[in-house]
Structure 1
Amino acid sequence: MYNITIIDDNQQDLNYIFSLINNYCQINKHEVKIQCCNDPLQIKDLINQDLIFLDIDMPSINGIQFATTLSNNTIVIFITNMEHLVFDSFKVHPFDFIRKSQMNKELSYTLKAVFNLIDEKNKYLILKIKQGKVKIKINDILFCETTDHITTIYTINELFQVRKSLKEIMMMIQSNKFFHINKSYYVNLEYVKVYDRKKIIMYNDKIISIGKNKYHLFLQRYLS
């Protein structure tokens, strides 16, 4: 289930955006719950929203200004006639900026990309550890380290040790966000803080060496 909010002070535009999103989701069999609103200041609960489609030019508050009040985990897509504000909108890191004049053409591409992103974020592993079985969100994994047939999975908040090879874990994750940096480490590129030709430093300050002949491939993947 995807939770979607559409905010636009123009009721005609609001209805049209709703119909386009709803039709796309029905055709592609996405289960969604959509709420619509003319005034962003009237919405009380946006915490559990996966995705917000937001107009910019509204009487109660500017859409870009309103976006600064949202959680960093909320995906924002601007849909507006104010095309000259596209660069201003970058301040709040929107997922996309859709022109109302091209909405019928651009919206389907954006929806496909954003649903893929949400699905990627929600993937998880179920692994057996000493205490029992554990569910680990793939997006929370910083890196995996293998030593003596034991793979240690480091996440944002904790670590887990499993009796699986690094290759087995790599096959289970299967994400382009991860890179086999050397024979013992499989790292989430989104959590690489600093790098040079010989090493990377992760967000938890772990220093990991870059394997022989791996630097150029790492750089290509990291910057893509």
Structure 2
Amino acid sequence: MNCIIVDDEPIARQGILNLTAKVPDLIVKGLFKNSNEARLYLEKNVVDLIFLDIEMPGINGIEFAKSISKKTLVIFTTAHAQYALESYEIDAIDYLLKPISEDRFLKAATKAIEFNYFLSDDFEKSSFESIGENSIIVRADRRIYKILHKDIFFIEGMKDYSIINSKDNKIITAMNLKTILSQLPPQFFKRISKSYIVNYHHVLSVSPHAVHLQGIELPLGNTYRNEFINEFIKKKD
């Protein structure tokens, strides 16, 4: 999987390069100190993944990510936590806060590698057979899965696909979040941001900018916050 590193700080670029060396599937093709340098490289080269800083001279990382091909995956690497929600709104694979630990980096890199495989021609794209009153029937990997609604923790949208995260499986399907949500029972499932749908049954708590499940924290978008919090409170009564 080809990747590049874009960061205006030499020490940060070297640190990410050192971390990529621990992931054999990542092949670093270039290190760049700003978005303009990276853009020139992208005009002539195919890149699967960008490790992208946000606050840089000139065009910042958020604006740069919005301007590149949707086929190029992005993992933001930044010292500023306030950009987390906006990064998910533009379908970033992950958001890493500096200083970046090795475990956290490996988790993000693995997610990117898996999703890159899902996008490849080698992966058999899955599809819904049906969404019933109590379950979803999904065809994936030459199998048919029946996933009970109660076992779905959350559904993550990524590009034009959706990843169903359940108790037993993580399955990607070639349907977007809007289409899936329109067919799921609204008394159980609610959209919390551009990129996430959650199952109320697995929500433990809600904070102003996040929804908390067991061991998982998902961003709560400004557009969805008030409605979700109000409905969450009602369901807990």
- TM-score category of the 2 structures, normalised to the smaller one: 0.5 to 0.7
2:67 match: 69
Say which one has the larger Rg.
1
2:117 match: 119
1:148 match: none
Given the alignment, which residue of 25, 35, 39 partners 2:34?
39
1:190 match: 175
Tell me the alpha carbon deviations over residues 75-134 of structure 1, each in whole angstroms, 9 at most, x when there is no partner. 11110111122123233221111011233341011111211121222253xxxxxxxxxx
Given the alignment, which residue of 94, 97, 110 partners 2:95?
97
- What is the deviation of 1:194? 3.8
1:183 match: none
- What is the deviation of 1:223? 6.3
1:19 match: 18
Contact 2:20 2:26 in 1 (8 A): no
Q: 1:13 to 1:174 in 2, by over 3 A?
A: farther
Tell me the alpha carbon deviations over residues 24-52 of structure 1, each in whole angstroms, 9 at most, x when there is no partner. 223xxx26243110011023132621100
Q: What is the one-letter code of the residue matched to 1:35?
A: G
* Superposed CA RMSD: 3.8
Contact 1:5 1:49 in 2 (8 A): yes
Contact 1:142 1:191 in 2 (8 A): no
SS in 2 for 1:53: strand
Q: 1:106 to 1:195 in 2, by over 3 A?
A: closer
Q: 1:15 to 1:70 in 2, by over 3 A?
A: same
Contact 2:2 2:27 in 1 (8 A): yes
- What is the deviation of 1:142? 5.6
Q: 1:194 to 1:78 in 2, by over 3 A?
A: closer
Q: What is the one-letter code of the residue matched to 2:5?
A: I
2:142 match: 172
Q: 1:73 to 1:31 in 2, by over 3 A?
A: closer
Where do 5+ consecutive residues of structure 1 fail to align? 125-136, 145-168, 180-186, 201-209
> Could you state the TM-score of these two structures normalised by the residue count of structure 2?
0.54
1: distance between equivalents of 2:4 and 2:28? 8
SS in 1 for 2:142: helix
Percent identity over paired residues: 21
Please say which of residues 73-82 and 94-103 is displaced more in the overlay. 94-103
Q: 1:13 to 1:6 in 2, by over 3 A?
A: same
Please say which of residues 111-120 and 51-60 is displaced more in the overlay. 111-120
1:7 match: 6
Q: 1:110 to 1:174 in 2, by over 3 A?
A: farther
1: distance between equivalents of 2:94 and 2:178? 25
Pairing of 1:108-147 with structure 2 (within 5 A)? 108-124=106-122, 138-139=124-125
> Could you state the TM-score of these two structures normalised by the residue count of structure 1?
0.56
2: distance between equivalents of 1:51 and 1:66? 13
